[in-house]
Amino acid sequence: MISPISSMNPTSPFDIRAFGAVADDTRVNTAEIQAAIDACASAGGGTVLVTGGVFLTGTLILKSRIHLHIESGSVLKGSLDIREYARDCGKNMYRGEPEMDRCLLFARDAEQLSFSGGGVIDGNGAAFPNADDPERNRPMLLRLIDCRDIHLRDLTLRDPAGWTSAWLYCRHITVDGIRIHSRVNDNGDGLDFDGCTDVRVANSSFDTSDDCICLQTSRPDKPCTDITVTNCTFCSKWAGLRIGLLSRGDFDGVCVSNCVFHDIQDAGLKIQVCEGGDMRNMSFSNLVMRRVPRPVFMTLGRQRCCVDAPEGLPPLGKLRRISFHGLHIDNSELGPDSHFVLTGLPGACIEDVSFSGVRLWSAGGGVVGGLVPELTPENLHGHWPEYFCFQEPLPASGLYARHVRNLRLEDVDFRTEMPDARPAVVLEDVTQNMNEKDHFEEHPAQDAPPPYLLQPPMGGV
């Protein structure tokens, strides 16, 4: 074997093959690839090169100033054996999900990390959980904790056994030109940023079994701030972009623009404060959605989600200063459950929300249901605040808002392909000065109620 140290100078790539890594279907190369990473770090940093085929590996520990370059046509692939995955690589921050604590690529307190090359990182997720693993482990592809100056570019990330990635308390992140395909297991999130600052995601595509991108705050002292997402496409079994659930800390400064959402089973934009954080100053603009039953699902509630949160109900948070502009939604192929949903709690309102330049085409055919349960802790029975928790059909064909203060609708057009027995907009316990020029339009229907209906609070169930 070529001596890895004697054959390289500090500026040459650290080719994993020079450290003994072999591309075949059975050879696990964890020790050899880790040796290349360690040698690169000892030299002060540089490029660790993956080229020449498919390389199986277990957990790899990345270090500062490492550039992991996976060339086009090459694959870094997770081992089939759960014993190859280290236990001390952080943990999943959601309560009740320890099976995703392990991961394939890990770094803590590292800086100037980069990943690129046009190749593939493959989690081999269909093999998990292993049949002989009583803990039912499903490793993530990537977990970074307290890292900074990170670049992820021009790679395909596919088939994680759990989430694709978790970024915890990191700063200065650029993600550009990646493709994530995560469908072999449930809980297949794409990019999860927890308590991160200065994050830019652009020019990327997502096809996931869970949230494509998720912004979270698992620690009260680690806010999620200054986030931009642009020029991306989202397809998901659950949500396109989720902000919250884990919401012990604050969220401030989120801008999402020029994106396409299609074939999403739950919600396009899912915005939820559950654990006492203050979520504010967010803008969503120039978005196209097709077959997305809830373009926006926004809830303010109280629900313990984080594994490290104290037992019992968390404090009440805030959800405010959110704007939506230029949304074009075609749900004409879906059923009647196609609408915007905003709901706070009795005595705790979502505040200062505006919609402008919104077009929603839906199928219609809805009927008037019964009373809609409040999403209080007592009614949720331990569930996250999800759409199915309403139990009853919502009373609006276009927008249902409850417990909201200062809601502004301007140039908003809701239409149905067939008659719908419900009004386009229903507001319950909504206090604001509506613009009389606001426009709500439905497909004409016999004996349909007026398209704009203001109702007092309905009370509990």
DSSP state of 15: E
CB atoms under 10 Å from CB of 460, counted, come to 11
Least confident of 75-79, 234-238, 450-454: 450-454
Q: In this model, does residue 450 exceed pLDDT 90? A: no
Residues in the chain: 461
Measured distance CA(243)–CA(236) in Å, rounded: 15
Query: 176 exposed, middle or buried (CB, 10 Å; 0-12, 13-18, 19+)?
Result: middle
Q: Say yes or no to pLDDT of 164 above 50.
A: yes
Percent residues over pLDDT 90 in the chain:
84
| Strands 75-78, 251-264: pairing kind | unpaired
pLDDT at residue 369 in the model: 78
Query: For residue 228, which of 241, 247, 211, 244 has the smallest C-alpha distance?
Result: 241
Q: How many CB atoms lie within 10 A of CB 72?
A: 12
- One DSSP character per residue, 255-316 reads EEEEEEEEEESSEEEEEEE-SS-EEEEEEEEEEEEES-SEEEEEEE-----BTTSPSSPPPP
pLDDT at 459: 29
Q: Is the pLDDT of residue 74 over 90?
A: yes
> What is the rounded CA–CA span in Å between residue 294 and residue 288?
13
pLDDT band at 432 (very low <50, low <70, confident <90, very high): low
Q: Is the pLDDT of residue 109 over 70?
A: yes
pLDDT of residue 152: 98
Mean pLDDT of 304-319: 95
Question: Could you state, in order of their start, the residue ranges of all structural domains in the chain?
Answer: 1-155+162-168+182-197, 211-290+309-461
Q: Please say whether the beta carbons of 340 and 312 come within 8 A.
A: no
> Which secondary-structure segment (H or E) carries 69?
strand 66-70
The answer, yes or no, to whether residue 262 has pLDDT greater than 70, is: yes
Least confident of 49-63, 68-82, 134-148, 446-460: 446-460
**Which of 36-45, 205-214, 273-282, 447-456 is predicted with the least confidence, judged by mean pLDDT?**
447-456
Question: Who's near 418: CB < 8 A, 6+ residues apart?
Answer: 363, 364, 365, 443, 445
Q: Does residue 299 contact residue 384 with C-beta atoms inside 8 Å? A: no
Residue 133 CB coordination number (10 Å):
14
Structure tokens at 126: 């269909």
Find out whether the peptide bond into 423 is cis, omega within 30 degrees of 0.
no
State how far the Cα of 281 lies from the Cα of 272, in Å rounded to an integer: 14
Res. 438: pLDDT tops 60? no
The chain-wide mean pLDDT, for the chain, equals 91
Q: What is the pLDDT of residues 169-217, one digit of tens each?
A: 999 999 999 999 999 999 999 999 999 999 999 999 999 999 999 999 9
Class of domain 1-155+162-168+182-197: mainly beta
Q: Which amino acid is at 175?
A: V
Tokens of 383: 């569930």
401-418: pLDDT as tens digits = 999 999 999 999 999 999
- Predicted TM-score (pTM) of the model is 0.91
